Amino acid sequence: MRLPVFGTMLLLAVQVGCETAPTTNSVATAYDAYHRGDYTSAYQIAQPMTTQFDATQQASYVAGLSAYHLGNGTQAMEHLKHATSSSQADIAADANITLGRIYAERSRHSDAASAYLAATRGLRGQARANAHYYAAKSQQVIGQWSQARSNFVQAKQHSHHRGFHALIDNELRINGWTLQIGAYSNDRYARNAAQQIAPRAQQLRMGTPRLVPATDKHGRQLVLVQVGQFTSQSLADHAKQRLNPKAAVVPLALVR
């Protein structure tokens, strides 16, 4: 699942790197390297401390974040899981947020949702709203629509940004996934595309193609050709391979 990008006034990113003072000089050195963007040095300093008998969650936290930025998700997960048990709420929350990102990038959306929700316990305001939002997005992918709706509502309750509220309102209209064959500025082209795909769609019991009016980002009128309704993204992906590998899997919104 590709995560959407938002303006800072709409969806404020959870800040990676808490402000809590490190407990040892070695951890402090790793923190300094991390905040300079020297992730290799930060990892090299912090990682050996994670293997010690009395390893601190702070060392695991810095090692995990550094590994993530270096592109090593497997090592990052190992260290961040230890950091989530930190008694410092900001460290535990940040560790869970990054774990959620890694799980989502690996299409482990059930684990991603669990990590994001665990992070909410240590967050407030917009940061907590963000965590609920991303938990809901992962739940949408795997077809947990009632849970996703609940977390979108929670996200809205913890945010004061109008733009974010409007975003949530749009998400609450989504109730499944569909296959989009194309987007056309000409109604005749759209109807022709729908007619061409209809026999195969009906053979696969996906129903009759739909012509859906839409507007692009420049305000131009379009007609979307969509087929089928699926509860999870994986079911839609499977149907796409059978119907038309070039189709796009897109959210299906409630008609009002």
Q: pLDDT digits over 205-253, tens only?
A: 999 999 999 998 888 999 999 999 999 999 999 999 999 999 999 999 8
Instruction: Indicate the pTM of the whole model.
Output: 0.81
Query: Cα torsion at 18, 19, 24, 28 (round to 10°)?
Result: 80
Sorted by where each starts, the structural domains of the chain and their CATH numbers stand as: 25-171 (1.25.40.10), 174-253 (3.30.70)
Spell out the residues 6+ positions from residue 109 whose beta carbon is closer than 8 angstroms to its own. 1, 103, 138, 139, 141, 142
Q: Is the pLDDT of residue 20 over 60?
A: no
Spell out the residues 6+ positions from residue 24 whose beta carbon is closer than 8 angstroms to its own. 56
Beta carbons within 10 angstroms of residue 150's beta carbon? 15
Q: Is the pLDDT of residue 63 over 80?
A: yes
Integer Cα distance of 186 and 130 in angstroms: 39
Integer Cα distance of 70 and 64 in angstroms: 10
Helices (H), ranges, the chain: 25-35, 39-50, 57-69, 73-83, 89-105, 109-120, 125-141, 145-157, 162-171, 187-203, 233-243
Do β-strands 248-253 and 221-230 pair in parallel, antiparallel, or remain unpaired?
A: unpaired
